[in-house]
Amino acid sequence: MSNFTFLTKEQCSGVNALDIFKKRGTEAAITDFSVLLGGDGININNPLEDRKGCYWTKSDDEDGNVLLVDRSGYIDWDLVAEHSKGARLALPFSKEGLIPTNGERGRRKGDGILEVEYGYYPQKAVSKDMQERLERLNRRGSILKTKNSYTIDFAIPSELKTYQEYEFNGKRYVRVEAKFSYNDVENTLSNGEKYKDGDIVWVEVQPVKWLVDEKAHIMITEKIIFAGVRFHAQSYYNASDFDKTDIKTFIDKYFSKDLEQLISKEELGKISEEAPNPRKSRLQKLNPDKTKPENRAKMTDTEIIQNWIEAGESVLLRGPSGIGKTERIKTLYPDLIYLKLTNNMFPEKIVGSVNLQTGQSIPPDFAKTAIMEGATEEEKKLIEENIQNIYDIADEVYERSKDSSKKVVIMLDELLNVKPAVQGLVYTLVLNRIVEIGKGLKLPENVVVVATGNQKKYSSIAEDLVAPLEKRFDHILDMEPKVGEWITEYAIPQKIHPAVIGYILSKYNNSGKSEDIEDIGYFYEEPEVGEEHLDVNGCNGRTNDPRSWTSVSNTLYNFERNLEAGKYVGKDVEDIIKRSIESKLRMEWASEFFDFYNLPTLTPEEVVKGMGEGYTQADLPKNISERFSYMTALITANEGQVEACREFIRKYCDPEYLSIYDIYWAGNDERKMEKISELQDMSISLHTSEEAERYAEDGAKVYTDIGKMYSEHLKDSKENKQEENERS
């Protein structure tokens, strides 16, 4: 028998009520899962937080009925065989103050109540877009089933139902068929969608939050966690018989196991406000970061590459063409020394040469450049007068460079596309930063070697890296295309056409923000996949990759400039742009992208007019693709129109899109950036607390990584201006 139980009437009301009820009241919200199982919910358009439910106690009314807490928090009664009421579980803990958790310490709110997370259970219905995505994956049989499941006993008639758990993008879900108490009504769940009896709803499995009454040594679920289970089959109930009831049997046999099945022995923790802190791992002791572990983000590929370079460690980047291996290093270090390797290049380009007439050693250009960057004006003059002076000066530069924080990057591009003989020429350079010419030329200490190349599966001309050289790189990173990184780190900063970003973001969101190759074919395809699609002429179909999307962006900008300049008067402009896109993307993606690009939207003038006169239903975006399309179309707004356009996006698209809109609309125009900053501050003060919290998360004024990047961009711009003013 498990320790999970219900509270008594006395614990819920009166002078002996639990402290948590005295502070927060006895009302409880009901989860979407509980409503779908037949729990009484309010049949109105209210969010989950506003929907209260009824939940059982284990007390009786001395007439054979069961007492419960109703939606208003008052004690009421119902028949013992009733099954539409919910369960708000209680769990006593030891008097030593040890509290079961999922492994993390709890949080103490402003009212002093300790909140902890313990166990996992289906709770919240997913958004409509995610619902469609999961259902589509399920029909294809391509969503992962886990080893877990959740069992419910629909009491009348008694019917055990087991829900399989699925995993997608690191989150867990169950697929539920709605079983409402009254099958002729609709219920509105927390996602804002209405469902009727028999509808399929995907529900996310989430940590269960508990409120801890430290004085009474008991904790209760914050919400009504399940419903639909009959309290007892008998017609009469006595409080002393609670352990024999149907609902207690269900809790012991099914619920307790389902709740705890995701908690591993390593994660299971117990916290105590009085107990000493647990032993800390080495990383916990060394790391001064106070950010909660669950809020810490993983480094992007670009960030981790920069971390290695700044540590002075050599890096080899391997991956398919077109995903930005070389470009992201050039962005990080625009003054890098670039050396493209080819099979027919002269060896002296890498190792230097000897003047046959004078016998003088002549270092390669890249080595001279690296040393000249750290040389004084006098030393540079000496090198220009006689290249042999570079050896002595290199030693001086090397000693000075030990104290330099600036990294000088030498990039060896296409290292894996050259023969082993050419690869061998860079061995000493990678190993010791020495060029073997003459007595040996030592490069500065702050020089870092970065190389790039394709693996064999991505290139028919790729070579294996010779083993001795492979072992000399400090890091080898095998890279895959990542939509999110490309958008935030390349597409937006490089001003890729808004229609390209809008299209890719809409597809990215529809795939559950997945980075799996299977789900991002619209953005990138393995070469062998693209070659399976022959065009009407029997030629290999084009393969989508980030480089192709950049090319599409350039085409759109050029086309629109020509269109506005009147160069296509009398011509079929749809045919012009369609054929241009089809020359760059695989045919089916080209057709879909054109449809997105050409979606009917509102102009900024129409938005401003609609703010005063109102919009018809036909004016508003109908799905995620149209929402992104509207957002990109409104970037042409002037300063008098931008406030109305931002409000339209916030209200009829999604506040998240404002982050992208703000970056594009403002660009590098300082006046526009200040305007956006003012409008963002206004948004936080005017809109609901939920939206404001969402918009201001992690200290940024918008809640996405893109928004965070924009805030940093705005800050950098102001700092740069301040530095210019100080210099002048």
Q: What is the pLDDT of residues 670-718, one digit of tens each?
A: 888 888 888 887 765 555 444 444 444 433 333 344 444 445 544 555 5
| All residues at 6 or more sequence positions from 178 whose CB lies less than 8 Å from its CB, including other chains | 36, 187, 195, 196, 197, 198, 199, 200, 201
Q: Which amino acid is at 523?
A: F
Helix, strand or coil, per DSSP, at residue 205? strand
Q: State the average pLDDT over residues 360-386.
A: 92
Can you tell me the distance from the alpha carbon of 127 to that of 348, in angstroms, rounded to the nearest whole number? Answer: 61
Can you tell me the distance from the alpha carbon of 523 to that of 509, in angstroms, rounded to the nearest whole number? Answer: 13
Out of 443, 461, 479, pick the residue that ends a domain. 479
Q: Are 55 and 28 in contact (CB under 8 A)?
A: yes
- Residue 196 belongs to some domain of the structure: no
Looking at the fold, whether 332 and 436 belong to one and the same domain comes out as yes
Nearest to 490 by CA among 724, 323, 304, 700: 323
Q: Are 180 and 154 in contact (CB under 8 A)?
A: no
Confidence check: pLDDT of 725 > 80: no
Looking at the fold, whether 60 and 155 belong to one and the same domain comes out as yes
Helix, strand or coil, per DSSP, at residue 255? helix
Q: Are 129 and 624 in contact (CB under 8 A)?
A: yes
- Could you report the per-residue pLDDT of 191-206, keeping only the tens digit for each? 888 888 889 999 999 9
The CATH number that applies at residue 462 is: 3.40.50.300
Can you tell me the distance from the alpha carbon of 676 to that of 541, in angstroms, rounded to the nearest whole number? Answer: 43
Looking at the fold, whether 265 and 410 belong to one and the same domain comes out as no
According to DSSP H, which parts of 444-497 are helical? 467-470, 483-485
Q: State the average pLDDT over residues 391-404.
A: 92
What is the torsion angle, in degrees rounded to the nearest 10, for the CA atoms of residue 562, residue 550, residue 582 and residue 531? 160
Tokens 């614990």, located at residue: 11
Confidence check: pLDDT of 211 > 50: yes
- Could you report the per-residue pLDDT of 61-77, keeping only the tens digit for each? 988 899 999 988 999 99
Q: What is the DSSP string of 257-314?
A: HHHHTT--TTT-EEE-SSSPPPPPPHHHHH----S-GGGPPPPPHHHHHHHHHHTT--
Can you tell me the distance from the alpha carbon of 496 to that of 513, in angstroms, rounded to the nearest whole number? Answer: 20
Helix, strand or coil, per DSSP, at residue 720? helix
Confidence check: pLDDT of 653 > 90: no
- Residue 140 belongs to some domain of the structure: no
What is the torsion angle, in degrees rounded to the nearest 10, for the CA atoms of residue 299, residue 300, residue 304 and residue 306? -120
Confidence check: pLDDT of 444 > 60: yes
Question: CA geometry: angle at 607 spanning 601 and 613, to 5°?
Answer: 125
Q: Quote the pLDDT of residue 539.
A: 64
Can you tell me the distance from the alpha carbon of 242 to that of 365, in angstroms, rounded to the nearest whole number? Answer: 86
Confidence check: pLDDT of 87 > 70: yes
Looking at the fold, whether 362 and 230 belong to one and the same domain comes out as no
Looking at the fold, whether 470 and 524 belong to one and the same domain comes out as no
- Residue 49 belongs to some domain of the structure: yes
Q: Are 668 and 717 in contact (CB under 8 A)?
A: yes
Phi then psi for residue 488, to 5 deg, are -80, -35
Confidence check: pLDDT of 288 > 60: yes
Looking at the fold, whether 502 and 444 belong to one and the same domain comes out as no
Q: Cα(first)–Cα(last) distance of the chain, in Å?
A: 78
DSSP state of 171: E
Q: Quote the pLDDT of residue 44.
A: 45
DSSP state of 463: -
Q: Quote the pLDDT of residue 533.
A: 57
Q: Quote the pLDDT of residue 41.
A: 59
Looking at the fold, whether 438 and 496 belong to one and the same domain comes out as no
Out of 226, 248, 271, pick the residue that ends a domain. 271
Tokens 């210019």, located at residue: 724
Q: Quote the pLDDT of residue 618.
A: 84
Looking at the fold, whether 419 and 442 belong to one and the same domain comes out as yes
- 572 or 112, which is more confident: 572
- Residue 172 belongs to some domain of the structure: no
- Residue 89 belongs to some domain of the structure: yes
- The greatest distance separating any two alpha carbons of the chain, rounded to the nearest whole angstrom, comes to 116
DSSP state of 27: -
Can you tell me the distance from the alpha carbon of 204 to that of 75, in angstroms, rounded to the nearest whole number? Answer: 31
Spell out the long-range contacts of 504-509 with Cβ–Cβ below 8 A and sequence spacing 24 or more: 504/549, 505/628, 505/660, 506/596, 506/624, 506/625, 506/627, 506/628, 506/629, 508/483, 508/484, 509/129, 509/624
Looking at the fold, whether 343 and 377 belong to one and the same domain comes out as yes
- Residue 289 belongs to some domain of the structure: no
Tokens 């989430």, located at residue: 206
pTM value is 0.59
Q: Quote the pLDDT of residue 183.
A: 59
| All residues at 6 or more sequence positions from 648 whose CB lies less than 8 Å from its CB, including other chains | 602, 607, 610, 611, 630, 634
- Could you report the per-residue pLDDT of 2-50, keeping only the tens digit for each? 889 999 999 999 888 999 999 999 999 999 999 999 887 554 444 444 5
Phi then psi for residue 460, to 5 deg, are -75, -15
Looking at the fold, whether 391 and 353 belong to one and the same domain comes out as yes
Q: What is the DSSP string of 574-639?
A: HHHHHHHHHTTS-HHHHHHHHHHHT-----HHHHHHHHHH---GGGS--SHHHHHHHHHHGGG--T
Out of 597, 628, 649, pick the residue that ends a domain. 597
If pLDDT is split at 50, 70 and 90, which confidence band does 105 have?
confident
Q: Are 593 and 553 in contact (CB under 8 A)?
A: no
Q: Are 501 and 492 in contact (CB under 8 A)?
A: yes
Q: Counting runs of H as helices and runs of E as strands, what totals does the chain give?
A: 29, 26
Separation of CA 664 from chain center: 21
Tokens (6 digits) for 377: 């004006």
Report CA-CA distances (Å) from 5 to 92, 244, 632, 684: 8, 12, 54, 43
- Residue 71 belongs to some domain of the structure: yes
Confidence check: pLDDT of 273 > 60: no
DSSP state of 243: G
Q: Quote the pLDDT of residue 703.
A: 32
Looking at the fold, whether 329 and 472 belong to one and the same domain comes out as yes
Q: Quote the pLDDT of residue 283.
A: 86
- 268 or 58, which is more confident: 58
Q: Quote the pLDDT of residue 86.
A: 93
Q: Are 80 and 235 in contact (CB under 8 A)?
A: yes
What whole-number percentage of the chain has pLDDT above 70? 86
Q: State the average pLDDT over residues 415-419.
A: 92
- 297 or 245, which is more confident: 245
Average per-residue pLDDT for the chain: 84
Q: Quote the pLDDT of residue 49.
A: 47
Q: State the average pLDDT over residues 501-521.
A: 81
The domain total for the chain is 3
Q: Quote the pLDDT of residue 151.
A: 93
Q: Quote the pLDDT of residue 48.
A: 45
Exposure class string for 312-326: b at 16+ Cβ within 10 A, else e: eebbbbbbbbbbbbb
Q: How many other C-beta atoms are found inside a 10 Å radius of the C-beta of residue 81?
A: 16
Confidence check: pLDDT of 269 > 70: no
Of the candidate ranges 383-392, 556-565, 614-623, 691-700, the one whose mean pLDDT is the lowest: 691-700
Looking at the fold, whether 465 and 511 belong to one and the same domain comes out as no
- Residue 308 belongs to some domain of the structure: yes
Question: CA geometry: angle at 350 spanning 346 and 352, to 5°?
Answer: 85
Q: State the average pLDDT over residues 603-609.
A: 91
Tokens (6 digits) for 436: 């073997």
What whole-number percentage of the chain has pLDDT above 90? 42
Can you tell me the distance from the alpha carbon of 290 to that of 446, in angstroms, rounded to the nearest whole number? Answer: 32
Confidence check: pLDDT of 277 > 90: no
Q: Are 115 and 247 in contact (CB under 8 A)?
A: no
Q: Which amino acid is at 325?
A: K
Q: Quote the pLDDT of residue 719.
A: 55
Separation of CA 135 from chain center: 21
- 290 or 686, which is more confident: 290
Q: Are 707 and 659 in contact (CB under 8 A)?
A: yes
In terms of residue numbers, what domain contains 543?
Answer: 484-597
Crossing angle (nearest 10°) for helices 377-385 and 390-401? 160
Tokens (6 digits) for 278: 């647990």
Q: Are 423 and 465 in contact (CB under 8 A)?
A: yes
Tokens 């469902």, located at residue: 195
